[in-house]
Structure 1
Amino acid sequence: MSTKREHSQDAVDTASKKRRIAADDALGSKITNLMHAVNEVLNHGASDDNDDIKEYMGEEAYGHLSELQLALDWQAAADGMLSIYRANVSKLPKSIPAFTVSAWKASEIPVKFPALPQILDITLETAVFTHQGITAGRAGDLSYERLEWVGDSYLELTCTLLIAQTFPAFSPGKTSQLRERCVKNLTLAAYARYYGFDQRARIPQEYLDSKHPTKDQDMTKIMGDIFEAYVAAVVLSDPENGVARVTEWLKQLWALELKKDIVEGERNPKFDSPMWNLRGAVDNVEIRSSTTVELGPKDQLQKLLGSKGIRLAYREAAPTKKDRSNKLPLFTIGVYLDGYGKKELQLGYGKGNGKKDAGQRAAQMALDNKKLMKELTDKKKLHDAQIEREREALEST
């Protein structure tokens, strides 16, 4: 019984789909005929003929007809873009295998921006530089706004894999900061302008008006979106090698952005993450915590000075500023001690793009102050001895 209902519903769906296709074909045929008629009138022949037509129709009507011709031409181009997009999106690789993305090496950092990878389809290339406000405004019109949504995903994934392999010992917070530097609009817009995308973009005049209150902000967003759209177009136009070509291009671009971090990372002890050194299917795998856990600066400071009634507090020691090196927020965190005869004593401070990182640096500054640490640890010994004597006195009563 259920099967009969399913077949019946399939038949209804098929019939409905055929009706929609027939209706679309009929509408398309009417629009095509209209285009031919308009083109025949406006492109009739010599300029004298056009002058006669303009005089017969009137200036205003002739102007409207010219606008209609432009809109129809754009519609035809948009339909062509959409058909190419639909044909290619089905071939789009579903993911980027990890082995296609290798870690950055300081020796491979380029000295200049890499060459721009080519888009292998003229329709997609046109769409990359077309603002939706220039199209006819239909939902199906292809413009950079639609392409950038695809490109954004490839940028995010490629950058994540590169950072994860190059900096396996970094915390998730630190790796997120590095990724933000690479994929934020300010960075992508700078790339777009370097490659001359701003000169090729077709954007409504209102965004180019110098009196527009948010012109700079809007243009940064537009340029960033166009860059993401370009990434998508390279991939979509080349299903076989597009991902590899885009990945190599982005890897070189971002190597220049993170040059200092890559060089500094190679100076630190190597850490082989099991994420990239897999063992395959192994029976009886047991994950254990290390018996020798290295404490961070904050934990070391707490262990050194912590005691009953003693308080270490971390809070902002100065207003948040913008880091000149990467344009991210720069926090200044201080570590303060209440106890051992001290009140709100600042032991140290640290700066970083994250509060946790800045706090660790503040604790390290305190630990490096050997004279102060000696003074406070001596007081801690007396403090702990007094607590022990009070405990023994209570137990003896």
Structure 2
Amino acid sequence: MARDKTKKRRTRDDGDSGNPSKKSKTEIPTPTTTITLPTIPTNGPGAAPTSLQPADIKSAFAAFSQGLSTLLSPSVSVETLTATLGLEKANFILALHSMKSSGDLSFLPTTDTATDIDTTWPPPLPPIRNPDLLSQIFTHISSIRGEHASLPGVEKSHYERLEFLGDAYLQSISSALLYRRFPEYREGPLSEMRQLLVSNKPLSELARAYGFPERLRTNMSEDRNKIKIVADCFEAYIGAVVLDAEGGPDVGYKTARDWLERLFEPKIREMAVERAKVSPVDKMAKQSLNALAGGSMAQLTYTWTGGGGGNHGGYWITVTINGWGFKDRVIGKGWGANKSDAELRAAMNALADTALVEEIAAIKLKTLGPRPPPKEKTKAKV
């Protein structure tokens, strides 16, 4: 019976491969090009395919490399990948993009298509035409000396009002961008991702990429090294871009949005890859870790060890254990937008360490002996 099924399956397969109406080549559509894979030779109907020749292997790999390079192009957004391929395949492509960014896929050809607009980073700054606005962006209030700082109209001489406006537009643009790019995420993860884009530290890094500190006018030269002040300058520039547009604030908003989307793109791709690896927060992780490693003979301590807190980079929490023969041993670390989530992720990472779990279980078994079997419940007499 098994032989008959095999025979039928082979006949069906042979019929497919010999059907003259089917194409002899496979076409892989990409956003900009169509790449044709070479035909795999066979020995005819009913025969097993022959081994690929070196030339065929090289040709197939060249086509594969070109197709993959196109999919990893900056012109292909995460949103397009997800909508076209689905979340699982899009995450696979994003993981490969992370490998490419790390230099692990150096064999891939470079893409020269017209849609690859983001070959340089950062993108050019939108120009500010109004010289008064341009001066205001880079003027810290400390540079306005003495009695002049209290004169009417001085608020138009330094960047603080522009910073207020730019911060509002930055929040709006980044929120809409993340909402559109990650349709499967709830508001909590989206808020965490937004903080990774718009908190003072990443903004100061973007400002430095454009040389803002060197253009800052301040009474104290050390201000140019202060993260908050440099980040404020960046927000002031966003506000000025919106106000300076020849067609009015609506045109200025679009200019700022297009610029910031290109500027944030590498970070958004990076976050997409990292988020694909992150499981949801386990609200019971601390209790589970305490049941495994805590109790009367050991103590678990959660310590804030990194991050500026809140919108200054979130929280890094480290969990250590004292007891069971361990002294201040670090067993897990975790990041969160708030302390509670960071502590839970630290506990989750500790529980995910199989070697650690087995080590603690072995020590407890040796120290306490095997746990007694649970007592059977006796039925109540009627």
Provide the TM-score with structure 2 as the length reference: 0.49
Which has the greater radius of gyration? 1
**Higher-helix-fraction structure:** 1
Structure with the bigger RCO (C-alpha within 8 Å, sep 6+) is 1
